[in-house]
Amino acid sequence: MDMYLVDVYLLFPLLFLFGAAWGSFLGAAAYRIPRRLSLVKPRSHCTSCRRQLQPLDLIPVFSFFIRRGRCAYCGNPLSWRYPLVEAAAGLLAVVVFLRYGLSWLFAVYIIMAYWALLLATIDIEHQRLPDVLTLPGILVGFLFNIILYLQSGVVHVTARMSVAPTWHLSWLGNSGSSVFWPGWEVCAPVFSPWHSLLGIVVGGGILTLIASAARGGMGWGDVKYLAAVGAFIGPGAAGLVLFLGALIGSLVGIAMMLLGRVNRRQPIPFGPFLTAALILLIIFGPYAAA
Ligand SMILES: [Zn+2]
């Protein structure tokens, strides 16, 4: 009978807190980057009264509830954006780990998911995707492909997982049954330098065509965003992200119009739907060999 020093379930709260701490940073970055403020100075503070936050204000997710959604010093309401982004980042760390284990793919996907979450948060508030995030994404995606290509022994042909993996299986990221992950590798992310280049051209290219044809609605920020997604996961997967994103966006748009929340002329940012699609692909999608 096997004996384990620690159970895998002990890891989940730690992973959640690790992710939520990054979520704290993402929430601050989503506020500061579009306003062209420094990411490091000044330290975290209330945006109304400028008081520097104390340790009790800096616990991801929980601080918001401890302080009942208000600044402890001036009483101004705090944005829901912070606890939401922190909780999302915490959950992503757990789920992406469950899927990929401790591997290069975990590193690539969690970085890509956090970058996408940051872009979605900014797009919701400002209706734009800053170049300072999308353009480096193209380069980083390409570099990751070189790393994964050189590490290609780690990348399996088909991913498998179960809901309740044990410690060692989860650690290796190869748990579970093939029932959940039938082989639909056509749209699977493929990691190689030339695939990445093709992803940039195809991802950016399709949206360039749509953006020029549509004249408005679709912005150049979306074009650069999808080019970067293509740089990370290749042309087929980038196409799938675009298709899924458009599908989710249409459904949400129709639902919001029916609920009277928006009218037909009001532009809805597309970035959050690309992000939702990308995260769905990371969690549920297939993955293929380099
Ligand atoms: Zn305050």
pLDDT per residue as tens, the chain (290 positions): 455 556 667 788 999 999 999 999 999 999 999 999 998 888 888 888 888 888 888 888 889 988 899 998 898 998 899 999 999 999 999 999 988 888 888 998 999 999 999 999 999 999 999 999 999 999 999 999 998 888 765 444 343 333 334 444 544 554 443 433 434 445 677 788 888 999 999 999 988 888 788 766 678 899 999 999 999 998 888 999 999 999 999 999 889 888 887 776 777 889 999 999 999 999 887 764 43
Residue type, 240: L
CA of 259 to the centre of ligand 1 (A): 34
Residue type, 132: V
CA of 44 to the centre of ligand 1 (A): 11
CA of 77 to the centre of ligand 1 (A): 8
Q: Where are the chain's structural domains?
A: 1-100, 104-290
**Alpha helices, H only, 101-219:** 104-126, 131-150, 167-172, 193-214
The pLDDT value given to residue 72: 87
CA 139 to the chain's CA centroid: 17
CA of 84 to the centre of ligand 1 (A): 19
Question: How many separate helices (H) and strands (E) can be counted in the chain?
Answer: 9, 0
CA of 135 to the centre of ligand 1 (A): 34
What are the phi and psi torsion angles at 144 (to 5°)? -60, -35
Q: What is the Cα–Cα distance from 267 to 218, expressed in whole angstroms?
A: 9
Residue with tokens 């009790």: 56
Instruction: Locate 165 and state its tokens.
Output: 């993996």
Q: What is the Cα–Cα distance from 169 to 273, expressed in whole angstroms?
A: 32
Provide the terminal-to-terminal Cα distance of the chain, rounded to the nearest Å. Answer: 37
Nearest Cα neighbor of 221 from 33, 81, 70 is 33
For the entire predicted model, the pTM comes to: 0.83
CA of 229 to the centre of ligand 1 (A): 38
Q: Is the dihedral of CA 25, 28, 34, 35 positive or negative?
A: negative
